[in-house]
Amino acid sequence: MKALNCGNFGELCRHYGISRKTGYKWRERFVSHGLEGLHEHSRRPQSHAHQLGEDIVCQMVRLKHAHPHWGPRKIRELYRRAHRGVEPPSESSFKRVLEKAGLTEPRKRRLARQSGRLAQGVKAQAPNEVWSVDFKGWWHDSSGRRIEPLTVRDEHSRMILELRAVPDARTETVRACFERLFENHGLPAAIRSDNGPPFASPNGLHGLSRLSAWWLALGINLERSRPGCPQDNGAHERMHLDVRRELQAGRIGRSQETFDEWRHEFNTQRPHEALGMATPAEIYTPSARAYEGTPEELDYQGMETRRVKPSGCIKFRRQLVPISSSLAGWDVALGTWAGDCIELWFASLLLGHMHPETLSFLPIRATTAASATGPLAASATLQRPKGRHTPASDHPTETHTNL
């Protein structure tokens, strides 16, 4: 009763050896509930997964059966979307219910290890800043045919732009897929790939293949993972794990309709934690850089150019200088002098230096080429196409040679 009429409440709390916070708590309980309010309350949680209604538990289990490889957090997000305006049970409740139903698997964890960085290390901050591309590891369908889908993904939004069981991995086949993507979505700023064909050539100048040379000619930068380091494109590999679990495990064949249906669900229904539980389709927007076809020639801002012959050579002072067969059919530019040598450029990429007296070509280091800057890198633009550019025919091996 003293607490109700005391003029100095803080002094009263000190007299009984309690804090002001505790004193206010007991006074409020007495005012609200009388002497009954002074009894110690139970510390048992007011809600528990076992107390959820049977209908709610059944809905949780049905959602999990519909998406067996999705975790409790994604299942909770689907439940929330299906019951707008109603606060769903907590994530821990979903986890306990699904564990009790035997519908979860413990996640395998690996020790974190130090890893290197890419030459440029571009991190996508907006849609179309970086696309990633790879082939999903092959499998055999129910009839024994080999299936190896091509996958293309926007790095920022996680949007799967392409999932296609292509007949082969030839340059022409993959290029046709990218032409459709560019027409539908516009051009990205960069494309991230591994170092294997057709995205790169192990014997080509700076690893350039005819496909990646085409990307450069369109004004698309190249991002490469380190050889033998799939973790450099880890998010793309994680998406491949979903393909393996949900498509490869069922030995799906070349049914493009099935691939498109799975891709549609991934893009429009599957929430992603890195996107604040939004779907990729809610984040992705088409590129502002429209695809206008392949340019007939590159505009090097008045710099002297040489056409690369099918053999991979350019003609200089009536002599042939080997450069790279991957650039066959394209023009390269003779840049500024660097000591006794002349810079040699392709699109915005500094290839190396050519000695005009000995007619030898010395490529610069690949890491330097990846981040080269200069007058051309800053100003090179593409002329509007006058017709389709047709590079020289395929060569078994794309090589470069020094004189």
Tokens of 368: 């330097």
CATH 1.10.3470 is right for the domain spanning 50-100: no
CA 285 to chain CA centroid, nearest Å: 15
pLDDT per residue as tens digits for the range 335-377: 888 778 999 999 989 999 999 888 889 988 644 444 444 434 4
Tokens 């564990």 label which residue? 99
Q: Are 190 and 349 in contact (CB under 8 A)?
A: no
Do residues 282 and 269 lie in contact, with contact meaning Cβ atoms separated by under 8 Å?
no
11 sits in which H/E element: helix 9-15
Round to whole Å and give the CA distance between 342 and 336. Answer: 6
Per-residue pLDDT tens for 51-99?
788 888 888 888 888 888 788 888 888 888 888 888 888 888 888 888 8
What's the pLDDT score for residue 253?
85
pLDDT at 294 over 50: yes
Give kind and range of the element (H or E) at residue 304.
strand 304-307
Q: Collapsing DSSP states into helix, strand and coil, what is residue 38?
A: helix
Supply the DSSP string of 98-143, one letter for each residue: HHHTT---PPP----------SS-----STTS-EEEEEPPPEE-TT
d(CA 17, CA 221): 70
CATH superfamily for domain 131-283: Ribonuclease H-like superfamily/Ribonuclease H (3.30.420.10)
Nearest to 121 by CA among 238, 226, 204: 226
Contact between 304 and 385 under an 8 Å Cβ cutoff? The reply is no
N residues, the chain: 403
What are the beta bridge partners of residue 278? Answer: 272
Please, where in the chain does CATH 1.10.10 lie? 50-100
Q: Where in the chain is the domain with CATH 3.30.420.10?
A: 131-283
36-45, 63-72, 109-118: range with lowest mean pLDDT = 109-118
pLDDT over 60 at 388, yes or no: no
Supply the pLDDT for residue 38.
67
Residue 279: pLDDT above 90? yes
Q: Once rounded to an integer, what is the mean pLDDT over residues 175-186?
A: 97
